[in-house]
Amino acid sequence: MKYLFVSGLVFFGLAFSFLAFKPCNDMAKIYDFKVETIDGEEIQLNQYKGKTLLIVNVASKCGLTPQYEELQALYEEYKDQGLLILGFPANNFMGQEPGSNEEIKSFCRLNYGVGFPMFAKISVKGKDIHPLYSYLTQKSENGVLDAKVRWNFQKFLISPEGKLLQSFAPREKVTEKEVRQAIVAALPQ
Protein backbone atom coordinates (compact mmCIF):
# COMPACT_ATOMS: atom_id res chain seq x y z
CA MET A 1 0.00 0.00 0.00
CA LYS A 2 2.81 2.35 0.94
CA TYR A 3 4.50 1.57 -2.40
CA LEU A 4 1.34 2.44 -4.35
CA PHE A 5 0.93 5.70 -2.45
CA VAL A 6 4.53 6.80 -3.10
CA SER A 7 4.28 5.73 -6.76
CA GLY A 8 1.08 7.74 -7.11
CA LEU A 9 2.73 10.83 -5.62
CA VAL A 10 5.69 10.52 -7.97
CA PHE A 11 3.39 10.05 -10.98
CA PHE A 12 1.24 13.09 -10.15
CA GLY A 13 4.31 15.17 -9.32
CA LEU A 14 5.85 14.43 -12.70
CA ALA A 15 2.57 14.98 -14.52
CA PHE A 16 2.03 18.39 -12.98
CA SER A 17 5.66 19.43 -13.47
CA PHE A 18 5.26 18.81 -17.22
CA LEU A 19 2.12 20.94 -17.25
CA ALA A 20 4.01 23.78 -15.59
CA PHE A 21 7.02 23.49 -17.92
CA LYS A 22 7.31 26.33 -20.42
CA PRO A 23 9.46 25.60 -23.44
CA CYS A 24 12.07 28.16 -24.49
CA ASN A 25 10.06 29.21 -27.52
CA ASP A 26 7.45 30.67 -25.13
CA MET A 27 9.99 33.26 -23.96
CA ALA A 28 9.36 36.87 -24.88
CA LYS A 29 10.40 37.75 -28.41
CA ILE A 30 11.52 41.05 -29.80
CA TYR A 31 8.12 41.36 -31.47
CA ASP A 32 6.35 41.46 -28.10
CA PHE A 33 7.59 44.99 -27.38
CA LYS A 34 5.96 48.34 -28.00
CA VAL A 35 8.21 51.35 -28.53
CA GLU A 36 7.70 55.02 -29.23
CA THR A 37 9.04 56.52 -32.44
CA ILE A 38 11.04 59.73 -32.31
CA ASP A 39 7.85 61.46 -33.52
CA GLY A 40 5.86 60.17 -30.54
CA GLU A 41 3.91 57.37 -32.23
CA GLU A 42 3.64 54.08 -30.33
CA ILE A 43 4.36 51.05 -32.50
CA GLN A 44 4.64 47.30 -31.97
CA LEU A 45 7.94 45.80 -33.11
CA ASN A 46 5.98 42.95 -34.70
CA GLN A 47 5.58 45.18 -37.74
CA TYR A 48 9.22 44.32 -38.47
CA LYS A 49 8.70 40.53 -38.62
CA GLY A 50 10.72 39.00 -41.42
CA LYS A 51 13.35 41.77 -41.32
CA THR A 52 16.86 41.57 -39.93
CA LEU A 53 17.19 44.20 -37.21
CA LEU A 54 20.27 45.98 -35.95
CA ILE A 55 19.26 47.75 -32.74
CA VAL A 56 21.67 50.49 -31.64
CA ASN A 57 21.68 52.83 -28.65
CA VAL A 58 22.84 56.17 -30.03
CA ALA A 59 24.00 59.57 -28.78
CA SER A 60 24.70 62.93 -30.44
CA LYS A 61 27.63 64.16 -28.34
CA CYS A 62 29.81 61.06 -28.18
CA GLY A 63 33.18 60.29 -29.72
CA LEU A 64 31.41 57.43 -31.51
CA THR A 65 28.67 59.65 -32.99
CA PRO A 66 30.30 59.51 -36.47
CA GLN A 67 29.11 55.88 -36.56
CA TYR A 68 25.75 57.34 -37.65
CA GLU A 69 27.30 57.82 -41.09
CA GLU A 70 28.40 54.18 -41.31
CA LEU A 71 25.05 52.94 -40.01
CA GLN A 72 23.22 55.01 -42.62
CA ALA A 73 25.48 53.70 -45.41
CA LEU A 74 24.86 50.11 -44.25
CA TYR A 75 21.12 50.77 -44.16
CA GLU A 76 21.14 52.20 -47.69
CA GLU A 77 23.13 49.23 -48.98
CA TYR A 78 20.97 46.49 -47.45
CA LYS A 79 17.50 47.93 -46.76
CA ASP A 80 16.09 46.42 -49.96
CA GLN A 81 17.42 43.03 -48.82
CA GLY A 82 15.54 43.22 -45.51
CA LEU A 83 17.85 45.09 -43.11
CA LEU A 84 16.43 47.64 -40.70
CA ILE A 85 18.54 49.67 -38.32
CA LEU A 86 16.66 50.91 -35.27
CA GLY A 87 18.26 53.83 -33.41
CA PHE A 88 17.40 54.36 -29.74
CA PRO A 89 18.84 57.58 -28.27
CA ALA A 90 19.95 57.20 -24.66
CA ASN A 91 21.48 59.61 -22.18
CA ASN A 92 22.99 56.95 -19.90
CA PHE A 93 26.65 57.68 -20.54
CA MET A 94 28.06 61.00 -19.31
CA GLY A 95 25.05 62.97 -20.52
CA GLN A 96 26.02 62.53 -24.18
CA GLU A 97 22.43 62.64 -25.44
CA PRO A 98 20.94 65.70 -23.71
CA GLY A 99 18.61 66.79 -26.53
CA SER A 100 14.88 66.43 -26.91
CA ASN A 101 13.52 63.93 -29.41
CA GLU A 102 12.95 66.75 -31.91
CA GLU A 103 16.53 68.03 -31.45
CA ILE A 104 17.94 64.51 -31.86
CA LYS A 105 15.90 63.92 -35.02
CA SER A 106 17.06 67.22 -36.51
CA PHE A 107 20.71 66.58 -35.58
CA CYS A 108 20.68 63.11 -37.17
CA ARG A 109 19.04 64.25 -40.39
CA LEU A 110 21.12 67.42 -40.86
CA ASN A 111 24.52 66.00 -39.91
CA TYR A 112 24.31 62.38 -41.07
CA GLY A 113 21.28 62.12 -43.36
CA VAL A 114 19.81 59.43 -41.11
CA GLY A 115 16.87 57.76 -42.80
CA PHE A 116 16.61 54.58 -40.74
CA PRO A 117 13.92 54.42 -38.03
CA MET A 118 14.71 56.44 -34.91
CA PHE A 119 12.90 56.13 -31.62
CA ALA A 120 12.19 58.22 -28.55
CA LYS A 121 14.96 58.60 -26.01
CA ILE A 122 15.04 55.72 -23.51
CA SER A 123 17.24 54.32 -20.77
CA VAL A 124 19.40 51.34 -21.75
CA LYS A 125 20.64 50.42 -18.27
CA GLY A 126 19.96 50.92 -14.59
CA LYS A 127 16.74 50.94 -12.59
CA ASP A 128 14.79 52.73 -15.33
CA ILE A 129 15.97 50.45 -18.17
CA HIS A 130 13.46 50.19 -21.00
CA PRO A 131 11.85 46.71 -21.20
CA LEU A 132 13.28 46.21 -24.71
CA TYR A 133 16.82 46.71 -23.42
CA SER A 134 16.14 44.55 -20.39
CA TYR A 135 15.25 41.82 -22.88
CA LEU A 136 18.28 42.46 -25.10
CA THR A 137 20.78 42.44 -22.24
CA GLN A 138 19.60 39.53 -20.06
CA LYS A 139 19.90 35.88 -21.02
CA SER A 140 17.10 35.08 -18.57
CA GLU A 141 14.80 37.09 -20.86
CA ASN A 142 16.22 36.52 -24.37
CA GLY A 143 17.41 32.93 -23.93
CA VAL A 144 20.67 33.59 -25.76
CA LEU A 145 23.18 35.83 -23.99
CA ASP A 146 23.92 38.40 -21.33
CA ALA A 147 25.18 41.60 -22.97
CA LYS A 148 25.51 44.58 -20.67
CA VAL A 149 25.37 47.88 -22.57
CA ARG A 150 28.80 49.38 -21.92
CA TRP A 151 28.57 52.61 -23.92
CA ASN A 152 26.78 54.38 -26.74
CA PHE A 153 26.54 52.58 -30.09
CA GLN A 154 26.33 49.02 -28.79
CA LYS A 155 24.63 46.94 -31.47
CA PHE A 156 22.23 43.99 -31.20
CA LEU A 157 21.63 41.79 -34.24
CA ILE A 158 18.17 40.22 -34.50
CA SER A 159 17.20 37.49 -36.99
CA PRO A 160 14.16 37.80 -39.28
CA GLU A 161 12.44 35.36 -36.89
CA GLY A 162 12.96 37.74 -33.97
CA LYS A 163 15.81 35.89 -32.26
CA LEU A 164 18.75 37.73 -30.72
CA LEU A 165 21.81 36.53 -32.61
CA GLN A 166 24.71 38.62 -31.40
CA SER A 167 25.82 41.80 -29.68
CA PHE A 168 28.62 44.03 -30.96
CA ALA A 169 30.64 46.29 -28.67
CA PRO A 170 30.32 50.06 -29.13
CA ARG A 171 33.70 50.41 -30.85
CA GLU A 172 32.96 47.56 -33.27
CA LYS A 173 31.98 49.33 -36.45
CA VAL A 174 29.59 48.00 -39.07
CA THR A 175 32.38 48.51 -41.59
CA GLU A 176 34.54 45.84 -39.91
CA LYS A 177 34.70 42.59 -41.86
CA GLU A 178 33.44 40.28 -39.08
CA VAL A 179 30.55 42.58 -38.15
CA ARG A 180 29.53 43.07 -41.77
CA GLN A 181 29.68 39.31 -42.44
CA ALA A 182 27.45 38.54 -39.44
CA ILE A 183 24.88 41.12 -40.57
CA VAL A 184 24.86 39.92 -44.19
CA ALA A 185 24.58 36.28 -43.07
CA ALA A 186 21.50 37.21 -41.01
CA LEU A 187 19.62 38.84 -43.89
CA PRO A 188 16.32 37.21 -44.88
CA GLN A 189 16.70 34.45 -47.47
**Residue ranges in the chain modelled with pLDDT below 50:** 9-10, 12, 14-25
Task: State pLDDT tens for residues 3-14.
Answer: 555 555 445 454
Structure confidence at residue 11 (pLDDT): 52
Quick check: helix, strand or coil at residue 78? helix
Structure confidence at residue 105 (pLDDT): 98
Q: Would you identify the CATH topology of the domain 27-185?
A: Glutaredoxin (3.40.30)
* Residues 88 and 104 sit within 8 Å (Cβ to Cβ): no
Q: How many whole angstroms separate alpha carbon 104 and alpha carbon 180?
A: 26
pTM for this entry: 0.86
Structure confidence at residue 29 (pLDDT): 86
Structure confidence at residue 161 (pLDDT): 95
Residues marked as catalytic: 62
Structure confidence at residue 17 (pLDDT): 43
Domain boundaries, the chain: 27-185
Quick check: helix, strand or coil at residue 101? helix
Of 35, 37, 54, which is closest to residue 45 (Cα–Cα)?
A: 35
